[in-house]
A and B are shown apart, each in its own frame.
Chain A
Amino acid sequence: MSMVATAGADALVVTRGQTRAGEAVPPASGAPLAAGSLRATDAAAPLLTLQDISLSFGGVTALQAIDLQVTTGEIRAVIGPNGAGKSSLLNVVSGLYRPDSGVVLLGDKGFRHVPTSRLAALGVARTFQNLALFKGLSVLDNVMMGLVHHRRAGFLRQIVVSPRARREEADSRAAAEAMIEFLHLEPAKDRIAGGLPYGVQKRVELARALVARPKLLLLDEPFAGVTLTEKHELAQHVRNARDTYGTTIVLIEHDIGVVMGLSDRVAVLDHGRKIADGTPDQVRADQAVIDAYLGVAHEGETELVA
């Protein structure tokens, strides 16, 4: 699983040693990377590793032999056109899909099928593309739900409010309130989540995911459907979360503009294959990526310019 760092203005920086034959990898050209950011990430342990993940739905291949390594503390984007398999990838990592083959490593624990019900206990949180808030609960209650896997008191203790139940409730509330403040959601704290504007709901979902201080946070199209201002706000919040809590973040997006400025590294999927993986600059200049996004016209880079 060694990471081979090769570098160049128009090449991938990080490809796996055993690159699969037939995978579209542009030739590496240029000198080895100067001492810098990637050296550091090289040394850090990978938090999430996907090995040879394949997934198909009744003959339609969603993911094909995907390898991916996410290093502790990085913001990693997975981009690709519609139907490239991005959401499937996230669903495999969160255990909603069982891959046909391959292994998901969370830290040093390997899974053929990630157990969704233990996901939070494993330190993984996620958001959903089309919002998955509990619409009937207030913002505070939604965020408190993010800590549910810490709760131990049974329902009888909760009814009689035993000391333990009271302590757990108070701890959850305090943590949730701190997270609400962190994401500037105080004005909406006691509002019912279902009635809030879309952009605010997105932030509430982020708060619910972050409140348990996950090691790994998966964001499924966090910027889809929000206004440009909200996009920049959200991006700032994501960056703050990483900087403040050290959360490793994997985000899926097809809006490349925001992603390029936000991510440390970007992986590109197309038709279920990983076609590129590297720093934003490298990916932006990658011919395979340009082809995937813009068809075969090699000149137009407009959509990739951040």
Chain B
Amino acid sequence: MSALVEQAQLVKTSWLTPSRAGIALLFVAAYGIVPFTASGYLLDAILTPFLALALAAVGLNVLTGYAGQVSLGSAAFMAVGAYAAYNFNLRIPELPLLFSLVLAGVVAAAVGLVFGLPSLRLRGFYLAVSTLAAQFFVQWALTKFAWFSNDNPSGVIDAPPLSIAGALLTGAPGRYVFCLTIVVVATFLTVRLLGSQSGRNFIAVRDHEVAAKVIGVPVLRTKLLAFGVSSFLVGIAGVLWAFAYLRTVEPDGFNLDRSFQILFIIIIGGLASIRGSFLGAAFIVVFPLLLSRVGEALLGNVFDSGVLEMSQRIVIGGLIIVFLIAEPKGLVALVDRLEEQVSRHAGRLKRRFI
């Protein structure tokens, strides 16, 4: 046991920790290998939506996992982001795409702040229900007022092609790298925020609001900051979803189901964990594909798309129940345990051979 601690300390003092090495490897793969080797299907239908959903999950995790404020309105903020970016792009053509993207995040944050105001008075279920208001209001407004979709009768928008500094990003690899870069930068900044005093304030408000108030945490400001930052990230995820993944979206695509999907991601992946958000998003994206492959192999033609969708819902619902009972901390806790075991075995091997 003491040897283990020593080893952990040794690793800690050196710059290259195992987790850093792991992240570095992931980066090399994500930037150096995947864009050149992966098929268009893998990039367009799996990795791009995975990245967008992962960012949305990071956003919701800031609010729900870290600051403890339940929200059922994530899809609404995705929609606000997507439609805001579309309108910035449409109405100010000279604005570079990255600016529209950030401004869209700011608009989503502003809307998030407004719908976060009830959190100053409401808690738990009551707050969750009040965030539903955001969900229904935004969807209604985007359909009702044609201005948002440039007078499209059903509120559908076509995303402009992606371009960075004049260079057009066409093709699946370009869209993937665009998504990846945005998600990496946004996640990096979020990690910085969560590691700072503001991040501690989030957790303090979540774990004991009265004590937080007594020691001087600005509780109201902290909650609003969580709503703002969360909506900003979710809004940007909405832009990626609309511009890089679907490219044609309608308000209906950001319905309550999408909000629940993001909530499931953070519950399955792990609350208050950035890695959990990514693991959960990977699971939600890959799992249906896996299920359809397995279903096809086992049942052949019986397993059509209708059956697939039903079985997906049943299995995901079941998994959530199992998870909440067996591993409330989500996939990330499983991965942590696995890592611990691996490192313990590695340590034992090392000791035997050295």
Contact surface of A with B, Cβ cutoff 8 Å: 94, 96, 116-121, 125-126, 128, 132-137, 141, 144-146, 148-149, 151, 153, 155, 158-161, 165, 168-169, 172, 208-209, 212
Contacts and interface: CB of A to CB of B under 8 A. Distances in A.
A268 to B, nearest CB: 26
Q: For the complex of A and B, list the 7 residue pairs with the smallest distance between their C-beta atoms, beginning with the closest.
A: A149-B216, A120-B216, A132-B211, A158-B196, A134-B207, A155-B198, A132-B208
Main DSSP-derived SS at the B contact region: helix
Given A151-B197, A158-B198, A165-B196, A117 B203 contact: no
Interface string B189-225: 1001100111011011011101111111111000001
A217 to B, nearest CB: 12
B272 interface: yes
A137 B207 CA distance: 9
Nearest to A161: B192
A26 to B, nearest CB: 36
B197 A168 contact: yes
B8 to A, nearest CB: 10
A148 B198 CA distance: 10
A245 to B, nearest CB: 17
Interface in B142-195: 189, 192-193
A266 B253 CA distance: 67
Contacts of B212: 134, 145
A262 B253 CA distance: 66
Contact of B204 (A119, A120, A137): A137
A134 B215 CA distance: 12
B63 to A, nearest CB: 14
Contacts of B197: 144, 148, 151, 153, 158, 165, 168-169, 172
B228 to A, nearest CB: 9
Contacts of A125: 214-215
Interface residues of B, number: 26
Given A141-B200, A144-B200, A169-B196, A128 B206 contact: no
B200 A145 contact: yes
A135 B219 CA distance: 17
A141 B213 CA distance: 16
A121 B216 contact: yes
A119 B192 CA distance: 29
B214 A159 contact: no
A119 to B, nearest CB: 6
A136 B207 contact: yes
Given A155-B225, A158-B196, A159-B189, A148 B216 contact: yes
A117 B196 contact: no
Interface string B259-273: 000000000000010
Contacts of B213: 116-117
A134 B198 contact: no
A120 B207 contact: no
B207 A135 contact: yes
A149 B221 CA distance: 13
Contacts of A116: 213-214
Given A132-B211, A209-B215, 5 more contacts: A116-B213, A144-B197, A148-B217, A158-B197, A212-B215
Contact of B216 (A117, A144, A165): A117
A117 B208 CA distance: 14
Given A96-B210, A145-B204, A151-B197, A117 B218 contact: yes
A45 to B, nearest CB: 24
17 contacts: A94-B214, A96-B214, A116-B213, A116-B214, A117-B213, A119-B216, A125-B215, A145-B201, A145-B212, A153-B197, A155-B193, A155-B196, A158-B193, A158-B196, A159-B193, A161-B196, A168-B197
Contacts of A153: 197
Nearest to A154: B198
A165 to B, nearest CB: 7
Contacts of B201: 145, 148
A44 B216 CA distance: 28
A172 B210 CA distance: 22
A126 B198 contact: no
Contacts of B211: 128, 132-134
A146 B215 contact: yes
A134 B204 contact: yes
A134 B218 CA distance: 15
B203 A134 contact: yes
| Most chain B CB atoms below 10 A, which of A117, A144, A153, A155 | A155
B72 to A, nearest CB: 22
A153 B216 CA distance: 15
Contacts of B189: 159
A132 B212 CA distance: 9
A144 B25 CA distance: 34
Given A136-B272, A148-B201, A151-B197, A159 B218 contact: no
A145 B203 CA distance: 10
A145 B272 contact: no
A120 B206 contact: no
Contacts of B203: 134, 136-137, 141
